[in-house]
Structure 1
Amino acid sequence: MQQTRPDLGAASSYSFPKPERVRVGNGTVVAVDLPGQQLISLRLVHPFGGAVEPLDAMGVTALTSEVLEDGPDGNSSLAPALERYGAEWVARANWDGFITGLDAPINRLGDAVGLFSDAVRRPALKADDIVRRRDQLLERFWLEAASASTLAMRSLGGQLFTGRYATPLAGGPVKLADITPERVAAFHADTIAAYAGTLVVVGDLSGVDLEELGRGVFGDTAAVPERRITEPAPPPGELPRVLVVDRPGSVQSALVIAHRAPSRSQVELPRAEGISEVLGGMFTSRLNMELRERLGYTYGAGSRFDLRRDSGVFFMSTQVEASTTAHSVTSSFEQIAKLRASGVTEDELAAVRESNIVGLPVAYSTARAVAGALVDIVVHDLPDDNVDRVRAGYEKLTAQDLNSAAVEYLRPEEAVVVVVGDAESLRGPLTETGVGPVEVRSPESLWS
């Protein structure tokens, strides 16, 4: 018997759960109770990301994050030790934060958190482990850089910033190689071991004593000092401009067009990310329809913002056949110009709204997802109702909001174009585009 498809109902409204904040010693516990969620997500946030690294120790944050997985006993001991409690280790470092944590069943939380605290505050940090992890990061750096798109993205920093951001988060192959076990131990002692941080806890907390949990993690550590926020300086040179990272004989080009953007606190997220989605963030975006569907140059093109506490980056990226590189560049700039001049359509506005509202109940259906949102709130010093504020911003978003965002946040006149491909065949056509001066570099020379 044939059945008719039921009509879609109205999208369910969503409100992000209100977190509870508890001051414990010199740290803060930020908790959300999700009844029935028996897997607890716990994250410890420190404001010691790559952006505040000294220039003579670039990569020490990323390396320390890796080494902590060797545990209190060293030699990769942490993961199997946590497995005895059904727990999984979490660690990552970004430009603005150093995040460690675990996901553990609520009935094994106490034992798992005890091991977690030892791993974070009192790791073995054996010299052999640190050297092994450093060598692995170095090898991974070049393995990942074998991907043209990865190499293009890592080349951006030196085109947009002076200082720490000019070198990739992992330190680049030269600076990372100089980091000694003693430098890692000193960094850990002066940051992660010394300061309490903020503890995020999400799950069914009906039987969890948050103060006791905080005492176990924070101990007698000090309060985190306030970070001074200063906007990083740009490098010298004319804008717009083109950098070709030479890969002789390459039949494809990885292409990134980027410019600096405001910091996270200076951006109205629904307007900024909304206009990015119209330009390159959806399958039906302007870039994808032009470069993929009409011209047939690529399998896909995209754009997005990378927003940090002191600055940001907006970039568009794609991979194309080498012979179409120059036209792909000019076509991308043309799409920005058209969007800034003519604005968005009602269909584009509706797509932006729906893509950022309808899926929220599913997006935040797990403890991990809620914990991730809270980490973002802590790292960027956002209000506790940030998710609801962003949702409300999308709900009331207008075409005029997006049109003004295109003018405010898309700045082609300040762009750099990074192309990874065969410089011999690309230099001439890219020069003829008139975008700006063309420089050719080898991958090995970028971070020396």
Structure 2
Amino acid sequence: MQQTRPDLGAPASYTFPKPQRISVGGGTVVAIDVPGQQLASLRLVHPFGGAVEPLEAMGVSALTSEVLEDGPDGQSSLAPALERHGAEWISRVSWDGFITGLDAPTNRLGEAVHLFADAVRRPALKADDIVRRRDQLLERFWLDASSASTLAMRSLGGQLFTGRYATPLAGGPVKLADITPETVARFHADSIASVAGTLVVVGDLAGVDLEELGRTVFGDAAPAPERATTEPAPPPGELPRVLIVDRPGSVQSALVIAHRAPSRSQVDLPRAEGISEVLGGMFTSRLNMELRERLGYTYGAGSRFDLRRDSGVFFMSTQVEAGTTAHSVTSSLEQVNKLRAGGVTEDELSTVRESNTVGLPVSYSTARSMAGALVDMVVHDLPDDHVDRTRAGYEKLTAEDMNSAAVEYLRPEEAVVVVVGDARSLRGPLTETGVGPVEVRSPESLWS
């Protein structure tokens, strides 16, 4: 017997759980109780990401994050020690935050957190471990840079900023090599061990004493200092312009077209990210339909914003056959200009609304995803109802909102084009596009 598919009902509007906040000593615990969620996620947030590193110690936060995994006893002792409690270590650094944490069963959380606190506040920081981790990061830097797309992204900073952002987050191959064990120990003492931070906890917290967790993690550490933000200056040079990072003989090109954007606090997120999705954030986006489906130049093209506390970046990216590079650049810029001039369609508007609202219950169905949202709120000083505000912003988006966002947030006249590929064959065609002056650099010269 043939059955017909039932009609879909209207999706329910999602509401993000309201977090509980508790002041404990010099820090704050931010928690969400999720009954039945027996795997808890715990994150400790310090406001010391790569953006605030001194120029003579670029990469120290990334290196310190790696070294903490060596544990209170050194020699990579932390992971196996946590495994005895069913816990997994988490550590990462962004431009705006230093985040450590663990995922653990709620009935083992207390035991795991004591070990976590020792790892964060009282790590061994043995010189041999630090040098080993530094050498691994240096090796990984060039291994990752063997990917043309990674190299293109890492080349962007020096084209858009002066100061810290001109060098990749991990410090680059030159500055990172200069970091000594003493530099790491000093950074850890000043920025991690002595600063309480904010502790995020998500899971079934029925039997969890949050104040005790806070006392264990914070100890007698001091409150985090206020962080002043100053917009970094751009480098000199004409805009728009083209940088070719030379990879002789390459049959493909990785290209990124980017420009500076406002900071996270200055951006209307639904409008900005909505217009980015129309341009390059979905499979049916204009860049993908043009470069992949119509021209057949690539397997995929995309765009997105990278928003920080003091500035931001908007970029489009793809990889294409070398002979199509110049036309891929002009076609991408043409799609931006068409969107700015003609605005979005009703189908595009509807897709943006639905993709950012209907799936929210799934997006925040785990303790880890909720903890990630809370970390974002802490790092960027966002209100506790940030997720709900953003959802409401998407729900009420209009075509006029999106069209004004295209003009406000997409700035092709300020763009830099970074192409990683064979300079010998690319320089002429890219010059003929008339996008802007063309410069050729070797990868080794970018961060010297």
1:332-371 matches, within 5 Å, as 332-371=332-371
Q: CA deviation at 1:9?
A: 1.8
1:192-207 matches, within 5 Å, as 192-207=192-207
Q: How many residues align?
A: 448
How far, CA to CA, are the matches of 2:243 and 2:107 in structure 1? Answer: 55
How far, CA to CA, are the matches of 2:123 and 2:96 in structure 1? Answer: 22
TM-score (norm 1): 0.99
Residue 16 of structure 1 pairs with residue 16 of structure 2: yes
CA deviations on 1:31-89 (whole Å, 9 max, x unpaired) are 11111111111000000000000000000000000000000000000000000000000
Q: CA deviation at 1:10?
A: 1.4
2:118 alignment partner in structure 1: 118
Q: Secondary structure at the match of 1:56?
A: helix
Q: CA deviation at 1:367?
A: 0.5
How far, CA to CA, are the matches of 2:360 and 2:78 in structure 1? Answer: 34
Residue 26 of structure 1 pairs with residue 51 of structure 2: no
How far, CA to CA, are the matches of 2:296 and 2:182 in structure 1? Answer: 53
1:232 alignment partner in structure 2: 232
1:365-444 matches, within 5 Å, as 365-444=365-444
1:255-404 matches, within 5 Å, as 255-404=255-404
CA deviations on 1:143-191 (whole Å, 9 max, x unpaired) are 1000000000000000000000000000000110111111101110011
- One-letter amino acid matched to 1:80: P
Q: Secondary structure at the match of 1:185?
A: helix
CA deviations on 1:198-256 (whole Å, 9 max, x unpaired) are 00011111111111110110000011110001000000000000000000000000010
1:78 alignment partner in structure 2: 78
Q: Secondary structure at the match of 2:278?
A: helix
How far, CA to CA, are the matches of 2:301 and 2:419 in structure 1? Answer: 14
Residue 254 of structure 1 pairs with residue 254 of structure 2: yes
How far, CA to CA, are the matches of 1:31 and 1:316 in structure 2? Answer: 36
Q: CA deviation at 1:269?
A: 0.3
How far, CA to CA, are the matches of 1:273 and 1:107 in structure 2? Answer: 39
Q: CA deviation at 1:128?
A: 0.7
Q: Secondary structure at the match of 1:132?
A: helix
CA deviations on 1:363-402 (whole Å, 9 max, x unpaired) are 0011100000000000000000000000000000000000
1:172 alignment partner in structure 2: 172
How far, CA to CA, are the matches of 1:3 and 1:87 in structure 2? Answer: 47
Q: Secondary structure at the match of 2:192?
A: coil
How far, CA to CA, are the matches of 2:383 and 2:223 in structure 1? Answer: 20
Residue 153 of structure 1 pairs with residue 153 of structure 2: yes
Q: CA deviation at 1:5?
A: 2.0
Q: Secondary structure at the match of 2:356?
A: helix
Q: Secondary structure at the match of 1:156?
A: helix
How far, CA to CA, are the matches of 1:369 and 1:322 in structure 2? Answer: 39
Q: CA deviation at 1:3?
A: 2.5
- One-letter amino acid matched to 2:421: G
How far, CA to CA, are the matches of 1:206 and 1:186 in structure 2? Answer: 39
How far, CA to CA, are the matches of 1:13 and 1:329 in structure 2? Answer: 40
- One-letter amino acid matched to 2:43: R
Consecutive unaligned residues of structure 1, counting only runs of 5 or more, are none
Q: Secondary structure at the match of 1:66?
A: helix
Q: Secondary structure at the match of 1:338?
A: helix
Q: Secondary structure at the match of 2:440?
A: strand
- One-letter amino acid matched to 2:275: I
How far, CA to CA, are the matches of 1:13 and 1:407 in structure 2? Answer: 30
- One-letter amino acid matched to 2:315: F
How far, CA to CA, are the matches of 1:212 and 1:322 in structure 2? Answer: 59
Runs of 4+ in 1 over 6 A off after TM superposition: none
Consecutive unaligned residues of structure 2, counting only runs of 5 or more, are none
- One-letter amino acid matched to 2:446: L
How far, CA to CA, are the matches of 1:107 and 1:47 in structure 2? Answer: 30
Q: Secondary structure at the match of 1:192?
A: helix
- One-letter amino acid matched to 2:207: G
TM-score (norm 2): 0.99
CA deviations on 1:96-122 (whole Å, 9 max, x unpaired) are 000000011111111100000000000
- One-letter amino acid matched to 1:370: M
Q: Secondary structure at the match of 1:408?
A: helix
How far, CA to CA, are the matches of 1:2 and 1:91 in structure 2? Answer: 53
How far, CA to CA, are the matches of 1:13 and 1:130 in structure 2? Answer: 49
How far, CA to CA, are the matches of 1:283 and 1:211 in structure 2? Answer: 46
- One-letter amino acid matched to 2:137: L
1:95 alignment partner in structure 2: 95
1:142 alignment partner in structure 2: 142
Work out the percentage of aligned pairs sharing the same amino acid: 88
1:221 alignment partner in structure 2: 221
How far, CA to CA, are the matches of 1:363 and 1:278 in structure 2? Answer: 20
1:42 alignment partner in structure 2: 42
